[in-house]
Chains A and B, each alone.
Chain A
Amino acid sequence: VSEPVVSGGIVSERARRGTGSALTLSLGVAAFASLAATVALGLGLPRTIEQGDYSKLIAIHPGIAWASYVAFGVTALASALWLWPRTRSLTWDLLAGASAEVGALFTALTLVTGSIWGRPTWGVWWVWDARLTLSALMLALELGYLALRRVPSDAEARGRRSAVAGLLAVTVVPVNHFAVEWWRTLHQGRSLTQVTPNNSLDGQFIFAMTVGFLAMTLVYAWLTAHRLRIARLEEDVVDDDLDSALAARRREAVTA
Chain B
Amino acid sequence: MSYVYAGYGITLASIGAYAAWVLWRGRALTKDRS
Contact partner of B7 (CB less than 8 A), chosen from A105, A116, A222, A230, is A116
Distance in Å: Cβ of A41 to nearest Cβ of chain B: 12
Of residues 15 through 34 on chain A, the ones whose CB sits less than 8 Å from some CB of chain B are 15-16, 18, 20
Query: C-beta contact mask, A93-126 vs B, less than 8 Å → 1, else 0?
Result: 0000000001001001100110011011000000
| Dominant SS among interface residues on chain B | helix
Query: Which chain A positions have C-beta within 8 A of B29?
Result: 230, 233-234, 237
| Dominant SS among interface residues on chain A | helix
A119-B3 contact in complex given A18-B30, A230-B26, A237-B32, C-beta closer than 8 Å: yes
Query: Which chain A positions have C-beta within 8 A of B23?
Result: 226
B25 touches A230 (CB 8 A): yes
A15 touches B33 (CB 8 A): yes
Task: Judge whether A177 is part of the interface by a CB distance below 8 angstroms.
Answer: no
B15 touches A105 (CB 8 A): yes
Query: C-beta contact mask, B6-31 vs A, less than 8 Å → 1, else 0?
Result: 11101110110011001101100110
Total inter-chain residue pairs, C-beta < 8 Å: 75
Q: Chain A: interface residue count, which band?
A: 35 or more
A53 touches B1 (CB 8 A): yes
Q: Chain B: interface residue count, which band?
A: 20 to 34
Distance in Å: Cβ of A123 to nearest Cβ of chain B: 12
Distance in Å: Cβ of B10 to nearest Cβ of chain A: 6
A233 touches B3 (CB 8 A): no
CB closest chain-B residue, reference A60: B11
Query: Which chain B positions have C-beta within 8 A of A146?
Result: none
B33 touches A112 (CB 8 A): no
A105 touches B33 (CB 8 A): no
A60-B26 contact in complex given A105-B14, A119-B3, A236-B33, C-beta closer than 8 Å: no
Distance in Å: Cβ of B27 to nearest Cβ of chain A: 10
Distance in Å: Cβ of B20 to nearest Cβ of chain A: 11
A233 touches B26 (CB 8 A): yes
A interface vs B, CB < 8 Å? 15-16, 18, 20, 35, 39, 42-43, 53-54, 56-57, 60-61, 64, 102, 105, 108-109, 112-113, 116-117, 119-120, 219, 222-223, 226-227, 229-230, 233-234, 236-237
Given A116-B6, A233-B33, 7 further pairs, Cβ under 8 A? A20-B26, A35-B15, A53-B1, A112-B10, A117-B3, A223-B15, A230-B26
**Cross-chain pairs A/B with CB under 8 angstroms, 13 sampled:** A39-B8, A57-B3, A57-B7, A105-B14, A108-B14, A116-B3, A120-B3, A223-B18, A223-B22, A226-B23, A227-B22, A234-B29, A237-B33
